[in-house]
Structure 1
Amino acid sequence: MSEKPAKRRVSGGRVTPKGTRPDGYTPDTVSHTGQDTMPPSPRWVPILMFGLLGAGIATILVNYVGSFWDTSNPVLLLGLGMILAGIITATQYR
């Protein structure tokens, strides 16, 4: 049988120099005074958001049940469009 080669001992420590901050480095201090904050959303924004989401889901469900009209792609796209509009409205909510 062949013998395994001896493990090489590594002496030394760090291969790359330790990262240090340059002289004269001062971290940026940011003071939050509250002047940059946006005012809260009007009451109609969450109402519109939930209304569009609910109407979109209801449109898709009614489309698949087929109780008012035959199942069709334009009605499905209308429901998906309302859901997308609800999601876009949700991004504007503060």
Structure 2
Amino acid sequence: MYVGKVIGNVVCTQKDESLKGLKLLVVQPLNDHLEPKGKPVIAIDTIRQSGEGDLVYLAKSKESSLPLDQELTASDAGIMGIIDHYHIKK
């Protein structure tokens, strides 16, 4: 799992059948100091509550769609939760 910040959304007129009814968001991965790390990714909002500006934690690959309880979903990343508090002990 890793941390990211929702920076936008994606609207698709056509998408894979397994993604119908799911919200797609643009998420910027962050490092331990909450600074941008790498390129933004498109993630499924598996909790159906995420929005722009939210600090979230994500899973990659097959694990990204586990909360959806579907056999197979076309996904590289999935939002698992919204972070309320983030602290790293020095």
**TM-score exceeds 0.5:** no
Larger Rg: 1
Larger helix proportion of the pair: 1
TM-score by length of 2: 0.20
